A and B are shown apart, each in its own frame.
Chain A
Amino acid sequence: MSQKVIARVLSNHEVAPETFKMFLDAPSVVEKAEPGQFVHIRVSSGTSLDPFLRRPLSIFSLDLDEGRLGLLFRVVGKGTSILADMKDGDHLDIIGPLGRGFEIREDSKKIAIIGGGIGVAPLLELAHRATKKGIEVHTLIGARTGSMILCPDEFRTYSTTLAIATDDGSVGKKALVTDILSGLLEREKVDELFACGPVSMLKTVAKLARTSDLPCQVSLEARMACGVGACLGCTIKTQRDGKYLKVCTDGPVFKGEEVDWDE
């Protein structure tokens, strides 16, 4: 019944500056996982207790036949540096799948997926599942510069249309991904929006969803300790009487209108 498994690293490659794609052999996690869920990874090894806390990473891809779990992560500190150094054949202690993932409505025929920077990580498997269901997927990804546009080919495979935006215009349009989204919403009658990325981007997506009267789901981050809902450390403020929700078990995917964006 334990959700804790020791997974073998199958491969780990730098796919963009300071950004790694890692595959793990983790059939028991893969068979239960949904897009938008995450795994909680121990980054200290052996008897070392440093770093003390696990690190949460979104599920990037799920290969059910091979039992293969994909992760996409950016190196920002100690924990992610340790992960970047992992090689084929190394082992990782992971807990998962955890949290509530994305849920596509039964009646959705056309969706828009919006990713900013490393925020694309939980969105690929969503696009994959949606495409498999015959849903039209319009994907918009943005980054500071072209080299930080992550995995465009994979996204193209699972998207009806793919739009790319960069701050410097080095690849795709020189625009904010949310500006492209406004244009898309004027042209296409999409049923739902899904987004992950910087908070400022998510806030704009949630606002656009509200003005267009569309349901919207966003994947949020918070610092975590337990990752399973036991410590109450990962809360975010909600619209419901200032109450807090836990990112690890109530999320990481939330409805756009649930979140208090002014916090």
Chain B
Amino acid sequence: MSKDVMMELDIAGIEIKNPVMVASGTFGFGKEYGRFYDISRLGAIMVKGLTLKPRLGNPPPRLIETPAGLLNSIGLENPGIQGFLTSELPYLREFALPVIVNIAGDTVNDYAKMADILDEVKGIAGIEVNISCPNVKAGGMAFGAVPELAYDVVNGVRKATGLPLIVKLSPNVTDIKEIALKVQDAGADAISLINTPLGMTINVEEQRPALGNVFGGLSGPAIRPIAVRMVWEVVGVVKLPVIGMGGIVTPHDALEFIMAGATAIAVGAGNFLNPMAPLEIIDGIREYMEKENISDINELIGIARR
């Protein structure tokens, strides 16, 4: 290992030892993969999406494999924010690992309430706001699909907390740049993308939709080119740092995002195929930097744009 390579970063005021995070919903609350390796080696953990009250989630089947990926319709099963704070956070506090709490809600008020609760809690590095959820008051239209609704959520959360605020964008939009700019105006400190594009498959033998919930979110290498393109677009218009994700499995995949301008990246479904993927990616980025004589990760960010 070369002494010269610098991978430490500051993103939205969160200090991370390397740019490799793990994506919300694919890494539980850390314990599960803590059996494979020391999770404090990660840049940060984005925990499973939380809601104000516990949620049971969608009926099974919730998963279906697709070419180079999978569709999921988990439906935000989670223990609720209080359940997380009492049962899950104590474990994570044992590690020198920034904990980013992913939150989701039905109303702007839900989001703001959760941010308010988290604001008081020790051991939380930042909040990631998942705006892919349907806005109950606006007839179920996703917050992340309408610039004004996205603004309202982020603005509501911003007022409730001084914690670093990452807003996670949905790819199910016509113009991701417009949403990103609104989110920036509303006071976000960073943007993460992409959440899962909606998809569906039909079970031909049974002649009906394969997922219990009909539609699901697509993840895995199948979506990587879409994700890289959206990162490229968003980095081109906002001043905020961007966390890129979507189909990252290998160091090469991670480098694509970083070169497109992402300051950090997150491994999602890649954990399922290879539980060691995040560590292999950290090592792989370091090796690449050594090979290319790049001493500071900042030199690599957005290199493909120059």
Chain A residues at the B interface, C-beta cutoff of 8 Å: 1-4, 42, 44, 47, 49-54, 95, 222-237, 242-244, 249, 263
Residues of chain A lying within 8 A (CB to CB) of residue B62: 223, 232-235
Question: With A223-B61, A233-B72 in contact, is A49–B221 under 8 Å at CB?
Answer: yes
Q: Report the nearest B residue to A50, measured CB to CB.
A: B68
**9 tightest Cβ-Cβ pairs between the two chains A and B:** A230-B28, A233-B63, A230-B32, A225-B272, A228-B32, A226-B272, A229-B32, A223-B63, A2-B36
Residues of chain B lying within 8 A (CB to CB) of residue A232: 25, 48, 57, 62, 74, 77
State whether A230 touches B26 (Cβ < 8 A): yes
Residues of chain A lying within 8 A (CB to CB) of residue B96: none
Residues of chain A lying within 8 A (CB to CB) of residue B67: 50
CB distance from B271 to the nearest CB of A (A): 7
Assembled-state Cα–Cα distance A4/B64 (Å): 23
Residues of chain B lying within 8 A (CB to CB) of residue A227: 272
Q: Report the nearest B residue to A223, measured CB to CB.
A: B63
Count B-side interface residues using an 8 Å CB cutoff: 39
State whether A235 touches B68 (Cβ < 8 A): no
CB distance from B165 to the nearest CB of A (A): 25
From the candidates A53, A226, A229, A244, name the one contacting B65 in the complex (CB within 8 A). A53
Contacts between chains A and B (CB distance < 8 A), count: 109
State whether B70 touches A222 (Cβ < 8 A): no
State whether A52 touches B36 (Cβ < 8 A): no
From the candidates B25, B31, B32, B70, name the one contacting A52 in the complex (CB within 8 A). B70
Assembled-state Cα–Cα distance A231/B196 (Å): 14
Assembled-state Cα–Cα distance A223/B63 (Å): 7
Residue of A228, A231, A233, A234 contacting most chain B CB atoms (<10 Å) = A231
Residues of chain B lying within 8 A (CB to CB) of residue A225: 63, 70, 72, 269, 272
Assembled-state Cα–Cα distance A107/B238 (Å): 67
Taking the complex as formed, is B276 at the interface, i.e. its CB lies under 8 A from any CB of chain A? yes
From the candidates A229, A236, A242, name the one contacting B56 in the complex (CB within 8 A). A242
Instruction: Give 5 A-B contacts (CB < 8 Å), ordered by A residue.
Output: A4-B276, A50-B68, A95-B275, A223-B63, A236-B60
From the candidates B37, B74, B250, B272, name the one contacting A1 in the complex (CB within 8 A). B37
